[in-house]
Amino acid sequence: MPSENPTVAPNETAFCTLQTRLRLKHIPALDGMRTLAVFAVIFYHFGFEKSPGGHGVMLFFVLSGFLITWLLLGENDRTGTVSLRAFYARRALRIFPAFYTYWFVILVLLLVTNKLVPWSNAVASFFFVSNYYIGLNHHSANAFSHTWSLSIEEQFYLLWPAMFLFLRNNLARLMRVLVALIVVAWLFRIVLCIGFGVSSSYIYVAFETRCDHLLVGCLTAVLLRRGACRSLWEKATSHAVMPFLTLGVLFCSIYFGGPAVTNYRETIGFALDPLLFALLLIQWVALSDHPLWSWLNSRPMRYLGRISYPLYLYQQVTLYPVRRILHAQPVWLQLGVAVAVTVGVASLSYYCIERPFLRWKRRFQTDAPPPLKGAF
């Protein structure tokens, strides 16, 4: 198995380092990015309204599209095709055990404590269509409402592999199709928002209005596999300060775009910000050994990234009770205890539920990811 910290030649460019890292079975910096994404959500739900929780979800979307496509590209290179059966088996073993355990645990807790069960949302969540339930109905926060993002991901997993299978042997065409779909999604959001006055709550959770965020990740993987836009990647990874520029533009988009432009999020932010996250993904992977960014590879960041899925599941029901119990204590103590409880519950889910099923998942896995094309 390749090392997680490959030796890099002193004169090797950051982009060549990027290629080396993308050949690994596991890329530590991506775990660090998952940690940042899930804690943006945790801090927002804890009560820090300035935390970009929605952008944490967006980062998950871009990461998912990238990783799934990169793995499909690798399988196609090695076998000449893609097994849909194996793909869906891997996804089911990754998603379903932890999710349905959470679903039944919450349902039982609500019933035994005589709390109101939001049955409509619970049923929609069970079948991974809660995004449309929330988008078409008044949104009220409950233990199932945050599963809208999981619904979008499952709907994406249902559709994307078949499209990839059809276009897998012509990456140039696949790239053009992805660009076209992304542009169509941009225009569709604008038409819904400005032309038809569709509510921002629907645009925020519907698959057809958010699928381009996953597709941006897919496109990034295809571009890298083809060796396309090399000059862009090289410039973007040429120095360790480059991610700060990307973060600066992202910060301005998140915090100043809305006040400056009406319907900014739906018309501009949802188009621009996923592209910035994709660029940041490449920069952080390429530069993650630099002292400015090596914290992404640290053990705590990697561990929290590894359990980011159960962290996302359970934070919806662990944060508020801790805040309520410790309401008289300083906020920093409330936050520390709430995070500790959430990490503890997520760790229990990971080791007791997820890991046993992940061992089965290996039966459907192929070997290491593909090398990038082109002379480097």
The reported pLDDT for the residue numbered 104 is: 97
- Map residue 141 onto helix, strand or coil: coil
Q: State the distance between the two ends of the chain, measured CA to CA, in whole angstroms.
A: 23
The CA distance from 70 to 168, in Å, is 12
CA distances from residue 194 to 190, 203, 257 in whole angstroms, order as listed? 6, 12, 17
Phi and psi based region of residue 47 (left: phi greater than 0; alpha: psi -120 to 50; beta: remaining): left
Residue in 120, 309, 135 with CA at minimum distance from that of residue 210 = 135
The reported pLDDT for the residue numbered 236 is: 93
pTM of the model: 0.93
The reported pLDDT for the residue numbered 359 is: 80
The reported pLDDT for the residue numbered 320 is: 94
Question: Read out DSSP for 265-318?
Answer: IIIIIHHHHHHHHHHHHHHHHHHTTSTTTGGGGSHHHHHHHHTHHHHHHHHHHH
Segments of the chain scoring below 70 in pLDDT: 1-14, 361-376
The reported pLDDT for the residue numbered 2 is: 44
**Tokens standing for residue 32:** 């660090």
**Tokens standing for residue 265:** 């999020």
Phi and psi based region of residue 179 (left: phi greater than 0; alpha: psi -120 to 50; beta: remaining): alpha
CB atoms within 10 A of CB 201: 14
Q: What is the pLDDT of residues 330-376, one digit of tens each?
A: 999 999 999 999 999 999 999 999 999 888 766 666 555 555 544 33
The reported pLDDT for the residue numbered 142 is: 93
The reported pLDDT for the residue numbered 8 is: 45
